[in-house]
Amino acid sequence: MTTLDSSIVNIALPSIAHAFGVALTGTVEWILIGYLVVIAATLLTFGRVADLLGRKPLFLGGLFVFTLGSALCGLAPSLGVLIAARCFQGLGAAAIFSVNIAMITRAFPAAERVRALGINAILVALGVSVGPTIGGLLTQVLTWRWIFYVNLPIGGLVILVAWHVLTLAPLGLAIACGGLLLLSQLAAASTTEYLILCLTVTGIGQSIFQAPNTRTIMDAAPSEEQGVASGVLATARVVGQSLSIAVTGAIFTSFGAAAAGATLAAQRQTLSYAETRALQSTFVTGLHAAFVVCAVLAGFGVVMALVRGDDRISVARAESPPPG
């Protein structure tokens, strides 16, 4: 998918330029350039991050960011948003690229390693070469947006398989973080379907996160303190829910969004068009800020979960008797 997306956009540039009413040269070229520049600029950094946090978490995180970026590209309402979404998609591609060879090298024994790397090289070349053909077919039969939407079922399937195979919580929280970012883009014109999509993504992420996170916490506690650990976990969950309501409510209110919403509800029939638009803008701005803060907190949780690693292994090693 990552190499395919470096070339699939080429053939669709005229359609994209026409859709947004811009010239074929100039700003529209950053749909291609932005993706490649972000990859080139972050590859070495992600390689170092993989050494510190592990290759699998970075690969899964990159896959999720790339898939989410594909969705944002397909939904882009303007050229600027599309370019930004492509840069975001490039971050996911860079994370995948940075660990791809290392994971293949580690997964295969020396006798099979050359063949595995050769197959990988073929797939890379295949993605680059068939990109224009696939992009042309999708653009002609459907619209240019489908050159990005085509990544969603593939990325979703791979994430689902990886979750069943790898299960360690950061992936689920990252998905929830993505759902919160989608919620932060809600606007007065947003459809009910978009809201359902946002809530579904957030809920899926939470469900994936909860089980392995709870297991890790309970496994870290000695058997004689399981009751205390369970109580601490439940307390932390309730406190977190309470604080989230208080924090997001304070942010929402500080932007004047609560007052704007109350005014809209009570005086909608007497307000002018300009006043209504201004109040709606204030309400949406406060809503965006609240969801962005939640997404940032979820992102911080992803980092903490990655740094924590697999506590079950460390606890088992610590409790196991010394050899001999």
pLDDT of 107-135, one tens digit each?
777 788 788 888 878 877 777 777 667 77
The lowest-confidence range among 51-65, 245-259, 290-304, 310-324 is: 310-324
Domains and CATH numbers, the chain: 1-166 (1.20.1250.20), 169-324 (no CATH)
- Res 263 pLDDT > 70: yes
Distance CA 294, CA 244 (A): 8
Contact 79, 22 (CB under 8 A): yes
Indicate the pTM of the whole model. 0.52
- How high is the pLDDT of residue 167? 53
Q: Per-residue pLDDT for 321 more than 60?
A: no
**What's the pLDDT at 163?**
63
Identify whether the C-beta of residue 44 lies closer than 8 Å to the C-beta of residue 85.
Answer: no
Above pLDDT 70, what percent of the chain?
Answer: 89
What is the residue-averaged pLDDT of the chain?
78
pLDDT digits (tens, 9 = 90+) for 291-303: 888 888 888 877 7
